[in-house]
Each structure stands twice: as C-alpha cells, then as structure tokens.
Structure 1
C-alpha cells in the first residue's frame, strides 16, 4: 500500500491519500480527489502522477505555471522512491510505502487529518480536568511502588491511562523491535471499553510516531469502516488515535497508543487547531505518563545494571565506571592485563566425606568464594567468573593503573593469609580449605559481553590460559601462589620487599605443551614467623642456578640446607633423585612434567 502525503507550512495543512497501483491521476486545483486547497502556487492541472514498479512517476503538465522541485532542481519528469520528496510552492509531497505483509486492509482508510505534536505544542495546553488527572497520577505512584515486574507495571499503566483519558475506548502499550525491518507492531498490554478481542493498532500511525517522528502523532479518519475492514485502530469504528513514544534507552521502541470515537461530538472538535483541539489535553496527559514510565523503567534498568556490575567490580571501580558512559567504558578492547585464577583446595574431599550434608558444604564454598571476591575487590580487581569452586579475576580493564600487577599480587597474598587464618581455627567453617592461586600478565581483549539482562565481563587471550596453567601447577609444586615470568619480574624489581617477595622455582614444560615456562612463587614479606628468610631465598637461587647448569650434587646439598617444611624445593629434589643425581643427556635446564597434577 502506498500513501501520498502532502504537508504545508502551517498547522492543519496536511492530507494523506492512498494511490492506486498503475493508474495515472492528475494533481491540481481542478482535481476533485487530488486538490491541495491551501497551496496557491498549484495550477488547475499541475502534474500527472502514477505509481508503477515501486516508484512514483511524476510528469509536469503543460498547463502548470510553476515549477516542481526535486532533489534541489526544477524537473519536468522524474521518479520518486520511498523516502524521497518533491515540492510544489510551499507544499512538500512524500511517500509512505508499507512493506508487503506489514499492514492489513483495515489500516488503509483515508486519513482526514494528522498532527505531529512537539513538546512546545503541549507546553501551554491547560488541564481543564486537572483534579481527575492528578488523582489518576496519584494511583500511578502506587502502581510504580507495587508492580513486581515490568509486565505488571505496563498492565497497570494501561488501566490508569483509560481512567485518565475519558474519551478513550482503547489504551495500550505497543512495541516495534529495532531489529524488525518490517516494523511489525506488537501489543504488550491493552485494555478497552468496547470488548473488541482482536484489536490491533494502526501500523502507519505507530511507525510514524516511533520510527519517523519520535514524537506524539495524532490521526483523525474520515468515514466509518465496513464490517469487513474492522481491523487495526479503526476496528470498532474508531474515529481518532494517537501514539506517544516512550523516550530514553529503556523506552526504545515502546509507545502509548490510544484510540477512541467522537461520541456525538462534531468532527471539527478533533480537526481544530491544536491549541483548541479536544484531543490536546489527552495527548498531554499521555506524554506525562510516558515521561514517568520512561524515567521509572530507566531507573529500574540502571539499578538492575548496577546490581549486575556490582558482582564484578569493587565499589570504587563501579563508581568511576558509572560516572562515565558505561556502554563506552565497558566496551571490549585490547588491554594489558594481569589474570588471576584461584582454586579452592579440599572441596572434593569434603564432598566425599560429608555426602549427607551437601547443602552445608555448598554454603561453605559460597563463603570461601566470598572471601576471594572481597580480597580481589579490595585491590581493584574485576571478578570475571566463578567456575565451580574456582574464581577468575583480572586487572587492567576497565581502568588501567601502573600498579595493576602489584594489586593482583597483593590480592593473592590476602587470599593466602585469610585461608591460613581459617586453618588455625578448627571451629571455623572454612577450616581445612586451602587456596591455590595462579597469576599471569600479558595482552588480551577484555570487556562486557551478553545481553542487558544477562551481561557479564570477561577476558580473552593466551594470558588467560597461562594464568590457569599457573594455578594448576600449584598442585604439583605444592606452593600457594605461582606466577609467570612477567609478573615475577615486576615483583622482584618494582615491588618493595615490605609488600611481597618472589623466588624463581624452576623452568618446567607442562604436560602436553612443547614450550617451557619459568614459574615463580610470590610470598609474604619476611617476618618473625616466616618459614623462609631472605637468606634462604638467596640459597635457593644459587641451588637453582647449579641445577640448571647440571651441577646437581651441589644443587642437592644446597637445597637440603633449606627448612624441611619448604615444599617449593621438592620438585627439583625429586627430579634429581629420579635421575640418580645425574642430568639426562641433552639436559636444557627444563623439567618436563609427566602429568597435569
């Protein structure tokens, strides 16, 4: 279906008429059906028009005294496609082309008049029935407070709209999905006084208000419909309808839709200039309700978003992210990140030992993950995911700091300290649990993925696999925290020893990998209770050097000078013993792991 729209400069200078397919007609002052009464520059027979092969063919007739403007030029013969316009005098002519299947024949009745209403048009419109409108708005506040979800909110809102707009027969909330190329109109919630069960709003009106104008649009129709055409807004012989879009990100594609009949009133009441039009108060009321609903849904959306993001970010990071443009701040991008994996040790054994108390074990695991999260957030980390009894976090996105590696290491040390403290108290719910932490630093892509309701943040790249590998190696090397070479170098050269210490443990080739990795342990600063002193770390470094160079006898002796409780030395000692104190042929200083754990 194709509609030709004529629009003049002044309010009320408008008509919209359906064009016959393949049939030529004359636009002019002497044409009974195709006159433009307000246009003084239009000749009696000005142009011949015909809709043929998906375009409007226009030919200026010899009798025309004034030009036709198309694409900024005076043209005598041309073709107009959907979305294009041409001008005669002060009137702009445009096409409204409905895609096939997007509209019913019941939506084709000729529009007598149409208004596009701006906020400026409504600013000076008074409410003659102000007490009633305010009473309805008072009920809206109660609905907002009590509605448990968005669907219930919209359901209650359409009922209040019907109460507030006395002339309305039908009120509804409609939606046009942005991804739908046909612009199909969906009714989300509706209520009517006519009990018409198959009500459908006008697609023309809805698309114009929501997609084209993004403002309130009013349509007034001419004649009554036949029973066979009683579909869409005109169903039930409605004489007028208006559509008021909701605005803001949370209102995208949504609108209030109201339809009614003149109910004995003169048609002039709906055709009068907007300042004295009978529908002006009702549109203003709908605009007010739309603004309230938009603000409320936006507030709920932001609260929901804050709730979701609160799982990932510390309060300080969340505050900074929320203060800027969240969509831009959380957009995936390249970043230099430090990734942390923290695995809860002792979980599987507890499940086997206490199979009859799984709910209690789950509560304890949740408590343990909460401890990890707190330590990570305390040091500006982003908690990306929980993988069973393992937490994944990272630093370097959405905010980057020079001390990101330091903060990641301090978070790991805090986790270690917390679980050591729990182990010293046999009555603590987390007694018997330990944590293994792996850290790695490198290039990755980090950002938010998923829908608005199911958003999550994550990080992709080889550094993620490396951090996971480090965490897995803590089981074999039997130390709480292992880091890659980049992270270890930062700790040894840039972090004060009053915050953390590190020692290179070995170069290993993990099971199933060809590349060798240098693994290092990060440990707490030296104190009176420290198992290893700084001198012990120097002795271990000398033993590691001898081991790599093939002087295993010397390495073995130096390692045995370390405290027996130091489990970090056991990997090298066991490798020396397995090879009878002699380096194998082709020794390259790398220990090849024979299993993953």
Structure 2
C-alpha cells in the first residue's frame, strides 16, 4: 500500500493496518500492525518449500519432549522457512500489565552461529502481545535511523507474532533480518508473506498446545472424577467450577485394617504387598467413580471419596452409601477365595455428611482435588471406630437421616449402634451401621435389626438387663453386639448412677 513520511518516520497505509503516531516510534522506524485476515490475500513466496516445511510441523510439535525442545525445533523451522531471516527467538512477556514488563528470551537461534545472541526490541514485543495481540512489523533504513530501538546495523526489519494458546501466557515469535534489495521498504511484499507464514505456524502451534493442555488437564481430572462428571465439565472445563468453595458434601473415608501387620509379615516381599494395596485402592476408586463421586488424595493405605462437588446431587449421600457397600461386597467376595490376592484384607469405612470446603489445588497441568472441614475429620474418626464397634461401615446421624427412608431395603439396611463421644470431640454422635440387603446377608434378618435397635434404646435409657437380652439374641456372625454387651457385662448389667446414654471413648 501507500505510505507517507513525517520527518524521518514513515507510515504504511493499508486496509485494517494500525499506523502508530510519530510520538510512538523513534525516527526512521516504520511500524505496521496487521489486523485479522489482512494477510489472507498475500501470496506465499516459494510455496513449495514452505509447504514442505509446514508438513513437518505437526510431527515436530507432537514429538517435542518439553517446551524447551519445542522452542528449539520452532526456531529451526522458521529459519528454514523465512529465507531472509537472520535471527529467530521465542519470547515471553511477564503478565504484569505494565509498560516495563520484563521480556524473557525462552530460546533463540541465528543463521550464523557466531553472530551472537538475539536481543529483541522490548517495545515491539510488548506491543505485539498486548491487548490487541497482533503481528507487528518494523522496518527501517540503517543509514538514516538514529536510535537503537529495534535497530541493529545488520538488520533492517523485525516482526513479532503472538502465540495465542494458554490464557495468562504472553508468548510470541520474534524474527529479524535484512530484506533483499536496497531497503526494507522495497522488500515489503516478501516481508508480508513471511509474516503470514509465521502467523500460520503460530496458529498451528497454539492449537496443538491447547489440545495438549486440555488433554493433560483431562488426564489429571480423570483420576479424580467419574465419567459423568467429566462429561458435565465438557472438553474445555470451566476451571472456575473447580475453585475451592463451601458446599454440602458426603465424605467417605476408607482405611485398611491391620496394615502394619501385613507390612511386617510381607517385609521380604514389599513389592507384592504394594501391588495388593494398589488393587484395593483400585476397587475403592472404581466404586467411587461408578456412583459419581470424586476421589481425593490417597494417603498410604487410606483413601477418600466425596459427593456433592463440583455439582450438587440429590442422591449424593445415597450414592456414597452405594459405593461403600460395593467396596464391602468386592472384598467379601475376594475373601471367599483363599488364593485371591485380596483375601486377607479388610477395610473400615466411615461416612459423614455436612458442610466442607472442596476444590482443586495446583496448576492447570497438575491438578489435585481436596476437601476439608469438620465433616472430613468425622468421617475419618468413624472409620477408626469401626475397629472398636466391630463393624465394616459406620455413618453419622446426618447421613442416616438422609438415607434411612430413601434407600430401599433391596439396596441397603441401617441400624443404630450407640451414642458415642469420640476422643478429642466435644459433641457426641449417634452412629449407625450401613448393612447390605437381606439377600446378601440372610443370617441377619430384619427382625434381628429391629431387636438390636430395641436393645440400643434400652442401653441408652439405662435398662441394661433388658438391653443385654435384646443384644444377646443376635446371630453369632454379627459382631456388632460385642461392643455394647461387653460394656454391659463389665458393669454387671447395671448402668452407672450418672449414666447419660453417651459412651465416652478413651482413644482413637
């Protein structure tokens, strides 16, 4: 297009081109900003060679082992495709929204290795990656330019093209060289073709990096979220949905019983023990995800799952109970086969419902999910109480209230066990056992459960003789009676004079 000159500064005119004022640029510099689509009509120079170079681009990007490796490959590719480029750099601007943002050269390359490092123009880079994020071309006459801004005696042009890929990152491709002919202005058609070629490379790089980032993100999410949750989050998850926030959650805490004993007996073959523990963690994760839950961090031989985040669910508490029963069933089936690698293992499971803070922590590439609050501590404590109360699964009153009438007896059964004050707690809790349906445990009938809860009522009321009679009627395979009957027996079936119905537990 046409151009005009004021003093020593020339301004290029073209459709969609942003020509800056004379005060923005030192004397002798022509600055051209290319708007979207402006270069689409510019023909590629030497299209055969450039097409050959571009066909290597996907393999080059996918094969990069790291960002440093990618930058090294890109600079080489650009030097091969831009004939008159003498220097290429991948640069990054610090995201602090100031005119003095630091410019970092992530990688550079020169056509002549002995020519020295590349020193990009800070102002050119900042302008290119700024709010407009457009390619900007600088040209100058080295004989007339009187400023070090962008001007290096061996060059008479430079341009910068943003790489628009990851939000929050301001990276760009910086290319500089000497135009063929007497001046950079006479070589503008070639330079515009070079800018178009570089923009194409930047777009492909950005697209593939976005895909890589999303795949890494989804891979990291996959270990925490069930498939329905992943589907709801979509292909490009709105990470604001995953930010920590307070919400109602149902927490399930699982821990291997007697793990120290297993570790001691397997001290000569810890690899096999690790494999067996990993299988158990796999059972837990599978059941959590099967019923739409989220897995938190594993802690050695313990695992955490929770429901109610990132999306609230009307059946969150019921699903937590279904997952717990699924875990119990899997391990029970394994125990029936002495040769099964999980045959000797058993789990304690605690379930609690209440307010907590749940959300992701970490970077976009390495996400971890956590939940914390009193309800998590309660679920953990309930799990430890399974050993003292001799049952596999315990739940708090809030959980029991939510599922007692909403889970059919063909799925699960509940029974109250006691009112306890765990060690270190200030508030007593009524705890209940989550039981499989009658079809899975026919020895314990619904009449047994009703009789047991009658015994608990007598126990709470202090009529321990009657309580003992009710509890003693349970089948031998039901060990839930042991805790209360032992306490009753130790007191000769007579409640203490100051009995208030609360069992104060001496330790964890």
TM-score, with normalisation over the residues of structure 1?
A: 0.79
Deviation at 1:145, TM superposition (A): 3.7
Paired position in structure 1 for 2:314 = 402
Pair 94,225 (structure 1): closer, same or farther in 2 beyond 3 Å: closer
Alignment of 1:157-556 (within 5 A): 157-179=74-96, 181=98, 182-195=100-113, 196-223=115-142, 234-235=151-152, 237-249=154-166, 252-270=169-187, 277-323=189-235, 325-527=237-439, 529-556=441-468
Deviation at 1:149, TM superposition (A): 2.8
The unaligned stretches of length 5 or more in structure 1 are: 1-9, 16-31, 39-90, 97-107
Deviation at 1:35, TM superposition (A): 11
Q: Does 1:148 align with 2:65?
A: yes
Partner secondary structure for residue 385 of structure 1: coil
| Maintained 8 Å contact 1:225/1:234 | no
Query: 1:191 & 1:479 partners in 2: Cα distance?
Result: 68
Pair 259,222 (structure 1): closer, same or farther in 2 beyond 3 Å: same
Q: Which has the larger radius of gyration?
A: 1
| Maintained 8 Å contact 1:509/1:516 | yes
| Maintained 8 Å contact 1:423/1:431 | yes
Query: 2:389 & 2:50 partners in 1: Cα distance?
Result: 74
Deviation at 1:573, TM superposition (A): 1.3
- CA offsets, 1:468-518, max 9 Å, x none? 111111121121100010111122121111111100100001112221011
| Maintained 8 Å contact 1:250/1:298 | no
Pair 93,350 (structure 1): closer, same or farther in 2 beyond 3 Å: same
| Maintained 8 Å contact 1:172/1:191 | yes
Deviation at 1:173, TM superposition (A): 1.1
Pair 94,178 (structure 1): closer, same or farther in 2 beyond 3 Å: farther
Partner secondary structure for residue 503 of structure 1: strand
> RMSD between aligned alpha carbons?
2.6
- Structure with higher RCO (Cα < 8 A, 6+ apart): 2
- Give the one of 476, 483, 494 matched to 1:582: 494
| Maintained 8 Å contact 2:287/2:323 | yes
| Maintained 8 Å contact 2:86/2:110 | yes
Pair 251,263 (structure 1): closer, same or farther in 2 beyond 3 Å: farther
Query: 2:250 & 2:264 partners in 1: Cα distance?
Result: 34
Greater fraction strand: 1
Q: Does 1:116 align with 2:28?
A: no
Partner secondary structure for residue 37 of structure 2: helix
Pair 422,572 (structure 1): closer, same or farther in 2 beyond 3 Å: same
Q: Does 1:571 align with 2:488?
A: no
Deviation at 1:386, TM superposition (A): 0.5
- CA offsets, 1:240-290, max 9 Å, x none? 1100001132683111110001354334325x5xxxx33100000000000
Query: 1:537 & 1:585 partners in 2: Cα distance?
Result: 29
Matched positions, count: 501
Deviation at 1:319, TM superposition (A): 1.4
Pair 92,239 (structure 1): closer, same or farther in 2 beyond 3 Å: closer
Deviation at 1:13, TM superposition (A): 5.8
Paired position in structure 1 for 2:16 = none
The unaligned stretches of length 5 or more in structure 2 are: 14-18
Deviation at 1:580, TM superposition (A): 2.9
Partner secondary structure for residue 74 of structure 2: helix
| Maintained 8 Å contact 1:503/1:520 | yes
- CA offsets, 1:356-385, max 9 Å, x none? 111111111111101110011110111111
| Maintained 8 Å contact 1:251/1:297 | no
| Maintained 8 Å contact 2:3/2:12 | no
